[in-house]
Amino acid sequence: MDRRLIGKCILLAICLVVPLAAGCQQTTPLPSPPAITSIGDIRAAPTAYEGEVVTIEGKYQGWQGGFGPPPVTRSDWLVQDASGWLYVTGKPAGLDPLSDIGRPVKVTGLVRITKNGEPYLDAQEIETEAGKASALLLLQIDLREKQLAAPTAERLEQMKAMGMRTENLGLQRIFIHLAQEPTAQQIDELEAMGITPFPDSWIPPVAEHPTGFIVADMPIDKLDELASREYVVWLDTAEQILELLTE
């Protein structure tokens, strides 16, 4: 075969293979985000997870008591999801152990086990969400969830002392802050979520307060869905005891 013909064949083959390889590189999928591991799964089989790096999501519980001693230091803190609780050590959450109770948090770390067989997480990476809800609202919703799951007379009295309505533990009265009066479409959207807004309660923004607000009754499992709406600026509790200033 003519050498020039062979050379042309080789060149043609290279031209066909190189774009194909480039195309394969372009279609390589991006790495997926880490899977979320249930705290309950870790607690149910701690030895199966020991030494593994996992990611958990839940609510920051600070230094709340009733969960046993911290595994490493007195600064260890708690995360709780729907399936259980877990201590975290190694890194501070950057949250206030009292006022930020209930704040969503995601933690990636190494599962370790204490001498007593209790699993905990040695944190490598922590993500917290500032969110749109006040710390007090998060705390009250957390109290409602705990009272529904495991009612106690002491917690119920604590809730009443805070000014919380306790006749329906699954419902929280809130202030929804908005930049302008809600439209009829937005009211319909809130109602479709199971939220009961009171449009006549609308208080418009004033000079020192750039947002107005309306009062609404919200099922406690709708907080995240409500906060995801772009027109919602801030959410706060409407259940608290206010002291009048007499001076």
pLDDT number for residue 23: 47
Distance from the Cα of residue 12 to its chain's centroid? 56
Mean pLDDT is lowest, of 16-25, 62-71, 161-170, 180-189, for 16-25
Average pLDDT (160-166) is 94
List domains and CATH numbers for the chain: 39-128 (2.40.50.200), 135-237 (3.30.70)
Amino acid in the structure at residue 19: P
For the chain, what is the mean pLDDT? 84
pLDDT number for residue 24: 46
Q: Which of the 8 DSSP states describes residue 178?
A: E
Q: Which residue has the higher pLDDT, 127 or 160?
A: 160
Residue 180 has pLDDT above 80, yes or no: yes
pLDDT band per the 50, 70, 90 thresholds, residue 82: confident
pLDDT in tens, 202-241: 999 988 889 999 999 999 999 989 988 999 999 999 998 7
Residue 163 has pLDDT above 90, yes or no: yes
pLDDT band per the 50, 70, 90 thresholds, residue 5: very low
Residue 10 has pLDDT above 80, yes or no: no
Q: Are 107 and 125 in contact (CB under 8 A)?
A: yes
Mean pLDDT is lowest, of 9-13, 64-68, 221-225, for 9-13
pLDDT band per the 50, 70, 90 thresholds, residue 33: low
Q: Which residues are registered as beta bridge partners of 79?
A: 60, 86
d(CA 9, CA 5): 6
Q: Which residue has the higher pLDDT, 144 or 208?
A: 144
Residue 18 has pLDDT above 50, yes or no: no
d(CA 88, CA 70): 9
Q: Which residue has the higher pLDDT, 18 or 52?
A: 52
Residue 16 has pLDDT above 50, yes or no: no
Own/partner contacts of 15-18, CB < 8 Å, gap of 24 or more, are: none
Angle at 222 between CA 81 and CA 141, to 5 degrees: 55
Share of the chain above pLDDT 90, in %: 57
Q: Are 72 and 115 in contact (CB under 8 A)?
A: no
Residue 154 has pLDDT above 70, yes or no: yes
Here the tokens at position 51 are: 């030494």
pLDDT number for residue 12: 46
Q: Are 241 and 162 in contact (CB under 8 A)?
A: yes
Residue 9 has pLDDT above 50, yes or no: no
Q: Are 83 and 41 in contact (CB under 8 A)?
A: yes
